[in-house]
């Protein structure tokens, strides 16, 4: 399977200025204490992790470790979800602060920790969930793309932002119901080229209902992908 060439897209100059100005690389992202690697030992120990027993499809904790009832009743388009951190505690606050504060460095840092925690997936390529144009202009970067580029380097896999595009914007998903989330992402994505036989890894920062990832996976499968898996920094419980 051949893909178009792709190169990491860094943030805008203003985004870099904001990132350096608001989050010095020598300060811990979690507590602000001085440290060399962006996360101090105390915050690393306090990372909110997901239980070992969780649904293989959506990563929601389940007692048996088997497929959860929701995925059995309404299987999503993606086949599996790779995640190890819960969207809770200081990590949830740090993700929000980084996403809306121009701190793209944070997602490169989190991506390195994610890559060290998860085994490399058996996929052909990594695909970041695209961001709406207005939000990309507002933030100066796409957090999913920062994660994807970091994971790709760590796992020695290609990543391609051009395999999945945002066809239109949508309302913010944070406070939307599951039904509203599904409506918001309907027709929001498109795949511009055939992906016959490819196994792809969709990457995003947070998985809540799985509506966006499910919509992306449907588009990629319709374009000919054989299998789509997901990888997220944090899973909402």
- Sequential DSSP letters for 104-119: HHHHHHHHHHHHHHSP
pTM above 0.75, yes or no: yes
In degrees, rounded to 5, the angle at the alpha carbon of residue 225 between the alpha carbons of residues 221 and 229 is 80
Which of the listed ranges 22-26, 110-114, 174-178 does the model predict with the highest average pLDDT? Answer: 110-114
Confidence band for 14, pLDDT divided at 50, 70 and 90: very low
* Domain residue spans of the chain: 13-235
Q: Which residues contact 221 (CB under 8 A, 6 or more apart)?
A: 77, 228
> What confidence tier does 113 reach under pLDDT thresholds 50, 70, 90?
very high
The answer, yes or no, to whether residue 20 has pLDDT greater than 60, is no
Per-residue model confidence (pLDDT) at position 156: 97
DSSP 54: B
Alpha carbon dihedral 202, 174, 147, 236, in 10-degree steps, equals: -80
Give the end-to-end CA distance of the chain in Å, rounded to a whole number.
36
Q: Among 18-22, 72-76, 124-128, 176-180, which stretch is predicted with the lowest mean pLDDT?
A: 18-22
pLDDT computed for residue 127 by the predictor = 98
User: 2: pLDDT confidence band, cut at 50, 70 and 90?
Assistant: low
Nearby residues of 202 by Cβ (< 8 Å), 6 or more positions away: 78, 127, 128, 129, 164, 213, 216, 217, 220, 228, 229, 230, 231
Q: Give the dihedral of Cα atoms 207, 208, 213, 218; nearest 10 deg.
A: 150
Residues 216 and 129: their CA atoms lie apart, in Å, by 7
CA angle, residues 55, 59, 63, in degrees to nearest 5: 45
128 Ramachandran zone, left/alpha/beta (phi>0; psi -120 to 50): beta
Residue with tokens 């998860």: 118
């Amino acid at each position: 399977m051949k893909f178009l060439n792709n190169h990491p897209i860094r943030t805008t100059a203003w985004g870099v200025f904001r990132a350096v100005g608001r989050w010095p690389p020598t300060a811990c992202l979690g507590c602000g204490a001085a440290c060399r690697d962006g996360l101090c030992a105390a915050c690393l120990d306090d990372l909110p992790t997901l239980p070992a027993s969780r649904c293989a499809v959506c990563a929601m904790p389940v007692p048996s470790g088997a497929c959860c009832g929701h995925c059995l009743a309404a299987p999503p388009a993606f086949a599996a979800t790779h995640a190890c951190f819960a969207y809770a505690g200081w990590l949830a606050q740090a993700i929000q602060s980084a996403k809306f504060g121009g701190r793209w460095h944070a997602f490169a840092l989190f991506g390195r920790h994610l890559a060290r925690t998860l085994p490399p997936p058996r996929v052909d390529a990594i695909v970041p969930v695209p961001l709406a144009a207005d939000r990309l202009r507002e933030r100066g970067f796409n957090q999913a793309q920062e994660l994807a580029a970091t994971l790709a380097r760590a796992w020695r896999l290609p990543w391609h932002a051009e395999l999945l595009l945002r066809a239109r914007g949508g309302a913010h998903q944070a406070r939307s119901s599951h039904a509203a989330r599904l409506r918001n992402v309907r027709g929001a994505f498109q795949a511009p080229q055939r992906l016959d036989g490819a196994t792809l890894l969709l990457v995003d920062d947070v998985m809540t209902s799985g509506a966006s990832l499910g919509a992306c996976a449907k588009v990629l499968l319709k374009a000919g992908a054989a299998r789509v898996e997901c990888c997220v920094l944090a899973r909402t419980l």
